[in-house]
Amino acid sequence: MVLIVFSSRGGATKDIALKIQEGLRTSGIKADVEDVKNKPDPSAYSTVILGAGIRAGSITGAMKRYWQRNEEELTQRALLLYVSSMARGETGKEYVDSNFSPRLLAHARFAGSCGGRIRLEELSGFARFILKKVASITENQESLDEKSIETIIQTAQSAED
Ligand SMILES: Cc1cc2nc3c(=O)[nH]c(=O)nc-3n(C[C@H](O)[C@H](O)[C@H](O)COP(=O)(O)O)c2cc1C
Number of domains observed in the structure of the chain: 1
Tens digits of residue pLDDT in 110-152:
999 999 999 999 999 999 999 999 999 999 999 999 999 999 9
Give CA–CA dist 86/129, Å, rounded. 17
Structural domain boundaries, residue 75? 2-160
Phi first, then psi, for residue 95 (nearest 5°) are: -60, -40
Q: What is the CATH number of the domain that holds 93?
A: 3.40.50.360
The model's pTM is 0.97
- Is the CB of residue 8 below 6 angstroms from any atom belonging to ligand 1? yes
Strand partners, 4: 33, 49
- Ligand 1 centroid to residue 85 C-alpha, Å: 5
Tens digits of residue pLDDT in 151-161:
999 999 999 99
Tens digits of residue pLDDT in 15-56:
999 999 999 999 999 999 999 999 999 999 999 999 999 999
Burial class (CB in 10 A: 0-12, 13-18, 19+), 13: buried
Residue 33 identity (one-letter amino acid): V
Residue 72 identity (one-letter amino acid): E
- Ligand 1 centroid to residue 12 C-alpha, Å: 9
